[in-house]
Structure 1
Amino acid sequence: MVKEIKLPEVGENVESGEIAKLLVSVGNVVDLEQPVLEFETDKAVVDVPSPYTGKITEIFVAVGDRVKIGDLLMKVETENMKSPVPVTEEEAVIPLTKAVEEFPAPEAGETLPGTEVVAAEKPQVSAAPEILREVAPASPSVRRFARELGVEIDYVSGSGPGGRITLDDVKAFTKLLVSGEKKPAGSGLFFETLPEFSRFGEIDTQPMSTVRKKTAEHLSYAWATIPHVTQFDKADITDLEKMRKQYSAAVENAGGKLTMTAILLKIVAAALKLFPQFNAGVDMERKRIIFKKYFNIGVAVDTGRGLLVPVIRQVDRKNIRELSIELTALAEKARNRKLSPDDLQGGNFSVSNLGGIGGTYFTPVVNAPEVAVLGVSRSSMQPVYNDGQFQPKLMLPLSLSYDHRIIDGADAVRFLRWVVEALEKPFLILLAG
């Protein structure tokens, strides 16, 4: 029997996009849920899986074609092909009342799948709208299952390969919703109705882009739930800037750009080891602090579509040249809409460098569920009094915003002072290990 593969729903408010890459050819045999092509939205590239097991008989799209949800992509011959039993419509469409009976609220002290943070293989539930996760990777049957339960699938964290959302993830999230232990992300935020601005003059109304909506939701949540404090300082980078320029050509020949951001990534990773409360998470439901043993740092990237924060993983295990190359590649992916959902997840700390634009200091918003963010502004030559005379020094303004629930002001000063001293005396990085 010949079946049609059509473009499924790939995310909220995603109606169309481009074919980025074909992963199969006519005559190939594919398994159920095997990716057959890459679909590019205005922010991310996601895999489109086959809803059947069979042989590809026809392909109706090519790389670069623009397609809409529901458009025909391929045809598959499914006769004599064994395939796992898919979720049926009857199984997927479950009223919420039945879900409560089928997935009852947990007993006191019971650990649900998805609530244990330290076990990465278990389904996880996210309390906050995750920043810039536009496309939730899930099959059409899982999306239908979540939709019938009234669950916003973008707020469910996936435990499958590449963060893919499974039925068990949706069930775990539903358990917490019906038990009253979890509220949908953003549910505690209220917005006043705006006045009718057209009464006062001409207006132009434009819908928010998907990236802008996700950014607005996440930052509203972070600002409303995290008690922010910002600590300011400045570092003398006169000598460091000379060294950066001296070695920039060698790094560029290797495929990267030796920027102050890349250097700061290495310094911040060392600081996070010395000050573990900055590499942590706050679990207010269980009244505990989660200290992370890995060092992933997000870097804010300004793109034509809005703010993106790709994550560089295991920063402590990479040298500055490797970080420069990876940072250059990630920034390029962000600006060319090549980032995957995995590229935007798993950060412990963020760095936002506005120095290329200008300004002195600013108050960056903590990227929840992280607990701190370092803002970097433009360096400038300033007179510094030293040994009885003023000397011209290149000074770099730094702004550290942090979550005051678990970070005290004195610790924030110590953390930022250590970063400043490491910029002024890079040998400190070697001492810290």
Structure 2
Amino acid sequence: MAELKLPDLGDNVSSAVVVGVLIKEGDSITAGQPVLELETDKAVMEAPASEGGTVSKVLVKPGDEVKSGQVIAVLGEAAEPAAENKPAPTPPPTPAPAPVSPQPSSTPAPQRSVAPLPSAPVGQRRLIPAAPSVRRLARELGINLLEVVGSGPAYRISENDLRRFALGEAPAAVAAQPPSAPAPTLPDFSRFGPVRREAMSGIRRATVRSMAQAWSTIPMVTQFDKADITEMEALRKRINPRAEKRGAKVTMTAILLKIAAAALKQFPKFNASIDTATNEVIYKEYIHIGVAVDTPTGLLVPVVRDVDKKGVIALAAELGEIAAKARDRKLTPEEMQGASFTISNLGGIGGTGFTPIVNWPEVAIMGVSRSSIEPLWNAEKATFEPRNVMPFSLSYDHRLIDGADAARFCRFVAEMLEDPFLLGFEG
């Protein structure tokens, strides 16, 4: 007999919800074969088996919350699968005499408050939180998910919800989850005019938690600077035809990745983390940089690894791939962990500057705004010249980084942007 344990879910991912069990008792599986379909705050993924064997017992079911290292199945001699344990592809023709109730993953509280499902205004589509396996089952049963009330967190629809709906039962009330910390009571906004409510997506809930933690943990300061990118922008346009032959498009973000890697080597404090439990500074010998990506479901931050070891064109190709995966919500937890620094580029949208929030446990983040043509003084010619100037900012953890360090870091980045020749030496 051997225990099949859930593999590591990744940094900052403490648990996940089982949305599909891909094995059953008696199945023969191999190492690496997907056994569970899991949903975290930011991604839906498949969990592979750590070893092969015959499934003797499955210990989890859809709706359960699982953690890294938890035993999810037992491998050994094939057990005689009970007929009632086999999932029914379609609901029974007549409902069972006993009322169907969902199986809770934990002991229910004696008293739970409930909240109704918010409805979307006419002409707008409501976000439907349901895993791919649930959507498949809905198609098989011919159910419109817009008509189903989910009983899970943030109105997530489970397979039990679909089967209850198919049997014509009243939808279960949605449990209202208490906030993790006391919050002021909101006024009744409907007194002043029409309102509507919309459940937060998993990505937005994760953003709320991480930003609140960062804001309450890190004493942040933001340094602002500008760089004349006239020559760098001209070089970027000259390089792009060569990059396009390799299926890449060189953007300013790709160039900034390379420049930031050089800056992190020059200023290792910015590539560190603070361990307050031991009063130590952890300096990272690797350079992995997160890149904020705007997606329809919220902000995601995939990570580009070993930036210092890659050329600009290679970085541009990788950046395009992970940005597309982020927008399609196909990133795995591993692709969103391990960053030691982050870049958030809003230049494609607009703005003249902003103060990005440091992503704990990192100690710094760079924010980039839209460049514009500005008159700069040319001392040699004693005249003003039109130049392409890009504003950027650097938020940092003041517990580790002093203002002078931040100013030097920004000047280093600006000088690299202003003189493309330096990229070949420092980068």
TM-score range, shorter chain: 0.5 to 0.7
Contiguous gaps of at least 5 residues in structure 1: 1-9, 57-66, 71-75, 82-92, 94-134, 136-185
Q: What is the CA deviation profile of residues 382-418 of structure 1, one whole-angstrom value per residue up to 9, with x for unaligned ones?
A: 1111121110000001011111111000010000000
Tell me: CA distance 1:33–1:394, structure 2 relative to 1, closer, same or farther (3 Å): closer
Tell me: CA distance 1:32–1:316, structure 2 relative to 1, closer, same or farther (3 Å): closer
Q: Which residue type is aligned with residue 398 of structure 1?
A: F
Q: Which residue type is aligned with residue 431 of structure 1?
A: F
| Structure of larger gyration radius | 2
Q: Which residue type is aligned with residue 424 of structure 1?
A: E
Q: Which residue type is aligned with residue 217 of structure 1?
A: R
Q: 1:268 aligns with which of 260, 271, 279?
A: 260
* Structure 2 counterparts to residues 329-368 of structure 1, below 5 A: 329-368=321-360
Q: Per-residue deviation at 1:252?
A: 2.0
2:116 matched residue in structure 1: none
* Structure 2 counterparts to residues 32-431 of structure 1, below 5 A: 34-36=33-35, 43-49=42-48, 69=63, 79=77, 190-387=182-379, 388-431=382-425
Kept in 2: contact 1:53–1:78 (CA 8 A): no
Instruction: Provide the aligned length of Structure 1 versus Structure 2.
Output: 305
Q: Secondary structure at the match of 1:411?
A: helix
Superposition TM-score, scaled by structure 2 size: 0.64
Q: Secondary structure at the match of 2:225?
A: strand
Contiguous gaps of at least 5 residues in structure 2: 1-12, 56-60, 65-73, 80-105, 107-130, 132-178
Q: Secondary structure at the match of 1:46?
A: strand
Q: What is the CA deviation profile of residues 40-69 of structure 1, one whole-angstrom value per residue up to 9, with x for unaligned ones?
A: 77842422456996569xxxxxxxxxx964
Equivalents in 1 of 2:18, 2:399: separation in Å?
Answer: 41
Superposition TM-score, scaled by structure 1 size: 0.63
Q: Secondary structure at the match of 2:354?
A: coil
Backbone CA RMSD of aligned residues: 3.6
Q: Per-residue deviation at 1:29?
A: 3.1
Tell me: CA distance 1:77–1:227, structure 2 relative to 1, closer, same or farther (3 Å): closer
Q: What is the CA deviation profile of residues 282-328 of structure 1, one whole-angstrom value per residue up to 9, with x for unaligned ones?
A: 11121111111110000000000000000011100011011001100
Equivalents in 2 of 1:334, 1:14: separation in Å?
Answer: 20
Q: Secondary structure at the match of 1:363?
A: coil
Q: Per-residue deviation at 1:38?
A: 5.7
Q: Which residue type is aligned with residue 206 of structure 2?
A: K
Q: Secondary structure at the match of 2:281?
A: strand
Q: Secondary structure at the match of 1:391?
A: strand
Kept in 1: contact 2:16–2:40 (CA 8 A): no
Kept in 2: contact 1:42–1:337 (CA 8 A): no
Q: Secondary structure at the match of 1:223?
A: helix
Tell me: CA distance 1:68–1:242, structure 2 relative to 1, closer, same or farther (3 Å): same
